[in-house]
A and B are shown apart, each in its own frame.
Chain A
Amino acid sequence: MDLLPSTDQEQILDTLRTFLADQAPVGRLRDHGAIGNPDARLWPELGALGFIGLGLPEDQGGIGLTTAEEALVYREFGRHLISPAVLGLTLGARIVANAGDATLREDFLSGAARVGIANPRGAVTLGARCSGDFHLFDADTAAWVLVIGQEGAGLFRREDFAAIVSVPATDAVITLERARLDDVAPRLWMSDGDDPLHARALLLLAAYAVGLAEGTRDMAVDYAKVREQFGKPIGSFQAIKHICATMAVRAEAAHCQACFASLVLADHGADSDFHATAAKIVATDSALKNSAETIQVLGAFGFTSEANAHHYLKRAHLIDLLWGDLRSQRARLLQMPTPA
């Protein structure tokens, strides 16, 4: 038993961190509004480095690592506020690989494909025929759209959706559209019995939220060390210090549970759904609270668009609402059997 990354895993993370620090500093979000998904330019290189097919078996064109490595990668994606459309590639690649389409699989794994993600706006019907109202994220230039639920997951072409209307997004660096499926068959469908894609999705969202919780913790701590009032750094006052400490506790809880869940999932454990759901609950709760408190620690500056705190807050809300918010995840978790 060991929850610390191995030397190999550390090397993978070093590569990714270097790439993201160079290509995706959080400051990039100040330079654009909702003008499409500029992070899509990162996909080919992430594909070439193997990050999209990291957890997919080698005989399906992937790198052959596990959910544990995927979770570590998504934690970094969260820290850098990478477009959540990347989930469309990671999870979509599993659907494509499962369908046995080698050409399309290569398209996804190489990062060439443009994939948006869909989130239900209310009750929807999923399966052989799909219906309902959805939000589409970063799907304006996408050929494909990922739809996911507890029943399974499917890929649609963008043109399969009706009544696509662009709407201003709360998380304004994301393009957001309303769209509808009217009794449409997915182009590809994978039921949850074939692969626990729903649990995988919750886990990756949890890992992403860990990155949000840690990124905001660090932002608040760094600011508290240098911002001076009453002649000393505000981090020396317990009122601020204890907020930062509480943020650290939350981030640690979220990170540890995400690690634990990723390993249970990698082992195909019976409690995969329980731990992935618990991870999403703890991590989104942490991300929402930490980003809110970071704005408070940064004071008036935290309220401006220049501070990046608001990007983290809005992304935390997006991650919470994606594929089941805290309220619905808690209701699901309560109904699950007692884990081992």
Chain B
Amino acid sequence: MDLEFTAEDRQFRAQARDWLHDNVPAGHRPHGGEEMRAFDRAWQRLQFDAGWAGVSWPKDYGGMGLGLTRQLIWYEEYARALAPDNHLCFVGLNHAGPTIIARGDEAQKQAYLRDILSGDTIWCQGFSEPNAGSDLAALKTRAHVDGDHLVVTGSKIWTSHGHLSDLQELLVRTDPDAPKHKGISWVIFDMNTPGLELRPIEIMTAPNHTHFVQCFYDEARVPLANVVGGLNNGWNVAMATLGFERGTAQIKDQIRYAFLVEQMIERARARFGNAHLAHDEIGSRLAQLRADMAAARAMTYMVVSRAQAGIHGSEASLMRAMVGDVQQRVRRLALDIIGPDALENPEDDDWVYFYLRSYSTTIAAGTTQIQRNIIGERVLGLPR
């Protein structure tokens, strides 16, 4: 056990810090639309050109080829520099890219990975369906082979930023007669394919906030070469993908949230007075969150430690469950500190917006309840 980073790690950290200090884009990240897409792509491109995109990705595809510890250090410095999170690149960087690295063939790696790192292509996810949410394997969007193509018909929902994306990681049922986990394929879908229609879905944060789309596929044709990991092997491939979402990328959020808690302490002191705060209910919640944020960071270090030791179990789901809960409590407490002005939701002040957004934290990428099933069954060995 140790918290020491090697001399090379520390040098890497110093270089990352310097570069971020000089290059983090100034100004507010736009909340939506083409401006947001342009902002995220430009910021990703800047990181790519300087070599910082894909710290743990293979060198052959534009990455740095370094270990998870360096990836952790990069994310820590990224968050400390208050660098904007380019959410549009998230699926490519944390889902599709790692899946193609793990399960794609050489042609797919050559065709897609570099463009993810450079921000040239934006990816979205096509997993959930109107009748397949927590029970993802019940998905019904079907695809049959026609020559050297798959023909896709059906619908996907809760696709974040689908209207701003170029490519989609798409799960389709390619063998309707097989058991439900066996007949699924993971395919790369071009969002410009004829036969695709998008319907925007407004979210609960404020009027006209579009975040999701629903996708309708009407005999949309996908080259068979876009199937990753083999036909009818998509469930297996998808499970590998979901694992990536629970890894090191979360350290960015944790450091940001720890920073938020510190801001909230300042704000609470200003509003209530330091002496009063110490034994006030809000002070107590702030202190508990300070302690919980420290624990969440330690849990992330444990996730990295286990990965370094080659232990790839489901234990990372413990960290994710903790983080989801803590983030929601942070956002909820912020409202109590703000007081009556929390009833105002101006576009240029994020506190209320992110409070409302935080309701997705315990739903996206597997609800808290599904996470608890996974922990119960795969970590604790309880019967199904």
Q: Which residues of A contact B (CB under 8 A)?
A: 1-6, 9, 68, 221, 224-225, 232-233, 235-236, 238, 241-242, 244-246, 248-249, 252-254, 256-257, 259-260, 262-264, 267, 274-275, 277-279, 281-282, 285, 327, 329-331, 333-335, 338-339
The distance in angstroms between the C-alpha atoms of A35 and B145, with both chains bound, is: 78
Given contacts A3-B302, A253-B322, A334-B287, 16 further A-B contacts (CB under 8 A): A1-B4, A1-B69, A2-B305, A5-B1, A233-B382, A241-B382, A242-B373, A245-B371, A246-B321, A253-B318, A256-B301, A256-B302, A282-B294, A327-B284, A330-B284, A334-B286
Question: Are A235 and B304 within 8 A (Cβ)?
Answer: no
Question: Are B372 and A241 within 8 A (Cβ)?
Answer: yes
* Contact partners of B284 in chain A: CB under 8 A: 327, 330-331
Given contacts A2-B2, A6-B1, A9-B1, contact A248 B301 (CB under 8 A): no
Question: Are B265 and A260 within 8 A (Cβ)?
Answer: no
CB distance from B264 to the nearest CB of A (A): 11
Q: Which of B295, B380, B383 has the most CB of A within 10 A?
A: B295
CB distance from B377 to the nearest CB of A (A): 8
B277 at interface, CB cutoff 8 A:
yes
Task: List B349-383 residues whose CB lies under 8 Å from chain A.
Answer: 369, 371-373, 375-377, 379-383
B283 at interface, CB cutoff 8 A:
yes
Q: Please tell me the number of chain B residues within 8 Å of chain A, measured between CB atoms.
A: 53
Number of A-B contacts (CB under 8 A): 159
Chain A, interface SS category: helix
Question: Are A3 and B382 within 8 A (Cβ)?
Answer: no
Given contacts A2-B2, A225-B381, A244-B376, contact A330 B302 (CB under 8 A): no
Cross-interface CB contact of A236 among B304, B375, B383, cutoff 8 Å: B383
CB distance from B134 to the nearest CB of A (A): 12
Cross-interface CB contact of B318 among A252, A282, A331, cutoff 8 Å: A252
Question: Are B369 and A238 within 8 A (Cβ)?
Answer: yes
The distance in angstroms between the C-alpha atoms of A254 and B290, with both chains bound, is: 14
Given contacts A238-B369, A248-B318, contact A278 B305 (CB under 8 A): no
* Contact partners of B318 in chain A: CB under 8 A: 248-249, 252-253
Cross-interface CB contact of A281 among B278, B288, B309, B322, cutoff 8 Å: B288
Question: Are B301 and A260 within 8 A (Cβ)?
Answer: yes
* Contact partners of A279 in chain B: CB under 8 A: 291
CB distance from A12 to the nearest CB of B (A): 12
Question: Are A3 and B301 within 8 A (Cβ)?
Answer: yes
Chain B, interface SS category: helix
Enumerate the 3 nearest inter-chain pairs by beta-carbon distance, A residue then B residue, closest first: A330-B287, A260-B298, A256-B298
* Contact partners of A6 in chain B: CB under 8 A: 1
Given contacts A257-B298, A267-B3, contact A242 B376 (CB under 8 A): yes
User: B313-333 toward A: CB 8 Å interface, digit per residue (1/0)?
Assistant: 001001101100000000000
Given contacts A1-B4, A4-B305, contact A333 B291 (CB under 8 A): yes
The 26 listed contacts between A and B (C-beta, < 8 Å) are: A1-B304, A3-B298, A4-B309, A225-B383, A238-B376, A241-B376, A241-B377, A241-B382, A242-B376, A244-B380, A245-B321, A245-B372, A245-B379, A248-B375, A252-B318, A253-B292, A260-B294, A260-B298, A260-B301, A263-B1, A267-B3, A281-B287, A330-B283, A330-B288, A334-B278, A335-B278
- Nearest neighbor of A336 in chain B, beta-carbon distance: B290
* Contact partners of A278 in chain B: CB under 8 A: 290-291, 294-295
* Contact partners of A263 in chain B: CB under 8 A: 1-3
Question: Are A253 and B296 within 8 A (Cβ)?
Answer: yes
Given contacts A221-B380, A248-B375, contact A275 B1 (CB under 8 A): no
B28 at interface, CB cutoff 8 A:
no
The distance in angstroms between the C-alpha atoms of A221 and B383, with both chains bound, is: 10
User: B228-265 toward A: CB 8 Å interface, digit per residue (1/0)?
Assistant: 00000000000000000000000000000000001001
